[in-house]
Amino acid sequence: MGKNSSDQENQGGIVKKEFKKVLIANRGEIAVRVIRTLKEMGIKSIAVYSKADKNSLHISMADESICVGDSPSKMSYLSMESIISAALATGADAIHPGYGFLSENSEFSKLCSKNGIVFIGPNPDSIRLLGNKSVARNLAKKSGVPITPGSDDSVKKDFLGIAKKIGYPIMIKAANGGGGKGMRIVTEPENLLKEVEMAQREAKEAFGSDEIFFERYIEKPRHIEIQFARDYNGNIITFPERDCSLQRKHQKLVEETPSPYVNSDIRKKLHTVVKKLAESANYHGVGTVEFLMDKDKNFYFMEVNTRLQVEHPVTESVCGVDLVKEQILIAQGESMDISQDYVDDFRGHSIEHRINAEDWEKNFMPNPGTVEEIVFPQGLGVRIDTHVYSGYNIPPFYDSMIAKLIVWAPTRQEAIRRSKRALDELIIKGVKSTAGLHREIVRDINFQRGDFYTKYLEEFIPMILAEREEKK
């Protein structure tokens, strides 16, 4: 499968270690996803769970399981001490953090190392360097990566003065997190201080830090990202770009690869700067560099996610790779199982639809509860990543993800047609979901043309709802 033939000795100072047991410090569909790869690699899996997740699918799939605390995240999945204690009690060689929770926490990575446990991800220094958005911006700038105008460091005072220098509209961002938490767009100076206060409060609740920074807001941008992987033997691989422009509340809803907006020349430029940035940060593991792209196809550095992305399956689909496997191989001190030539020969088009337990017609109001019935689509080119089953109770404490529907086809138009078919087969009863919105999206002419941007759904959804009202 395009094996990397490098015979270099490990130069990263890491001791090669073959994992026999890996604890997954996460829940839901990503825990299920990691367990599947561990089984295929012959590695035993350990699931952790909170009291609210005692009937979750990942528990029954794992070789072992252990409760790490009460239902709220801070008392279970965010409790570093509980997770480490569970790993030590079960004899885990390593911890896979999934995404969210502790996946980008440098202190947790350091704590793993102190306890003789391998953190399947980058080292604490790389997480600190790239996980803090303002610090990462400065590194990107030094590495020659284009960046949007903004504050060079976290903004702690003189908010109005700094914003005036950058110029409105301003994007406020949490310095130590992602997923849209702590993010605000400000168009007028009189609204800035109120939005700063709200962003700081949300960032503190989500990431334990109220640090924020400012960026000039690019109007009608595309959200383009590059997945990369770098091992301790000097091998670095960049993957075809993902287009994550269809979002709600700054969180991705539909992702696809390759982007209908990016040509081969831009792709090469993106890959060049990503490799330079990863090497500058001495990064080892799997990561993603995110960019904003304007109407003239100029791209600007946005942030680095020092973990596996929710949307990683689309990359796996077109490239024929298992990114979780590559993460584990790197963490064991081995060379990656793939080469750049193999990845560059990617085929077809893949689209991911995030199906969440939310009422999209009412501003995506969370809709936890019991899934009375769920029937997933099947057939050629259809993949489902989920932890949900008929009778499962979606708890109110965590992310509202029900499933990820991933399709692959030889061309983008065929992938869209496959998405239509798969979404029409999907049945969810008992809770409201975003499946209906996805059905509207794939039938939208602008989506079919590839003509959309990060705020597109804010215009599209009211239009769809208004049309429904007219038909009543």
Q: Just list the catalytic residues.
A: 307
| SS3 (DSSP) at 221 | coil
115-147 burial, b at 16+ Cβ within 10 Å, e below that, comes to: eebbbbbbbbebbbbbbbbbbbbebbeebebeb
Torsion of CA 9, 13, 19, 23, to 10 degrees: -150
Q: Which long-range contacts (CB under 8 A, 24 or more apart) does 416-424 make?
A: 416/351, 416/442, 416/447, 416/448, 418/381, 418/382, 419/351, 419/353, 421/377, 421/379, 422/377, 422/379, 422/382, 423/353, 423/377
DSSP for 49-63 reads: EEGGGTT-HHHHHSS
Q: Are 194 and 172 in contact (CB under 8 A)?
A: no
Tokens of 190: 């009189």
Cβ burial of 467 (10 Å; 0-12, 13-18, 19+) is exposed
How far apart CA 277 and CA 154 sit, in angstroms, is 20
As a whole number of Å, the CA-based R_g of the chain is 21
Tokens of 416: 């869209």
Q: Are 25 and 97 in contact (CB under 8 A)?
A: yes
How far apart CA 355 and CA 268 sit, in angstroms, is 32
Q: Are 23 and 94 in contact (CB under 8 A)?
A: yes
How far apart CA 433 and CA 468 sit, in angstroms, is 18
How far apart CA 19 and CA 119 sit, in angstroms, is 12
Tokens of 413: 């138009």
Tokens of 160: 């109005």
> Which of 326, 360, 346 lies closest to 428 in space, CA to CA?
360
Torsion of CA 392, 424, 452, 292, to 10 degrees: 30
